[in-house]
Amino acid sequence: MVQLTLLCIGKLKERFYLDACREYEKRLSGHCKISVIELPEERLPDNPSPAQIDAALSREAENIQSKLPKGALLAALCVEGFLLSSDELAARLEQYMLTGTSHLVFVIGGSHGLHPHIKQQAALCLSLSPMTFPHHLARVMVLEQLYRAFQINKGTRYHK
């Protein structure tokens, strides 16, 4: 059974996000081993300078790096990533699993995104949309799309 890890910068606080995430984690548990790891977001002043943002992203990247399992395929969620349809994401996941990938890690950055080093290391840079969403909502969206991908690959009616 494939293992999925969702590494997220920032902690969910809003109950509606927590409930949605738990629901999709429960649904995914029938298809894979799922784990969600929350990492702290670096605190910044109200109007941070580019250097302060870069330093914070660098510290977050070190934290992310320390949690990456050896041999896992890394997918980074970022605005400049590829836009994939649900069907295309399902096909990518199936391709990864058919070629022996047993552990997939999806990384969601904080409000300032991800450090370039993490994006460069990723086998897949993925964008959810050209629109901007709160990174907490992105977590729900990623979990739902992963569940949808498993359903597509299984041929169920969920995707209809």
Q: Is pLDDT at 160 greater than 90 in this prediction?
A: no
Sign of CA dihedral 23, 26, 29, 30: negative
Tens of pLDDT, residues 123-152: 999 999 999 888 889 999 999 999 999 999
Tens of pLDDT, residues 79-88: 999 999 999 9
Longest Cα–Cα distance in the chain: 49
Measured CA to CA, the distance from residue 30 to residue 23 in angstroms comes to: 12
Residue 63's pLDDT is what?
Answer: 96
Query: Which residues lie closer than 8 Å to 28 by C-beta, 6 or more apart?
Result: 4, 34, 143, 146, 147, 150
Measured CA to CA, the distance from residue 155 to residue 150 in angstroms comes to: 9
Confidence class for position 158, pLDDT limits 50, 70, 90: confident
Spans of all domains in the chain? 3-154
Model confidence, pTM: 0.94
The CATH H-level (homologous superfamily) assignment of domain 3-154 is: SPOUT methyltransferase, trefoil knot domain (3.40.1280.10)
Tens of pLDDT, residues 30-52: 999 999 999 999 999 999 999 99
Tens of pLDDT, residues 49-106: 999 999 999 999 999 999 999 999 999 999 999 999 999 999 999 999 999 999 999 9
Q: How confident is the model over 11-29, as a mean pLDDT?
A: 96
- Per-residue b or e along 107-137, where b marks 16 or more CB atoms closer than 10 Å to that residue's CB: bbbbebbbbeebbebbebbbebeeeeeebbe
Strand partners, 154: none
Measured CA to CA, the distance from residue 118 to residue 81 in angstroms comes to: 12
Q: Is pLDDT at 159 greater than 80 in this prediction?
A: no
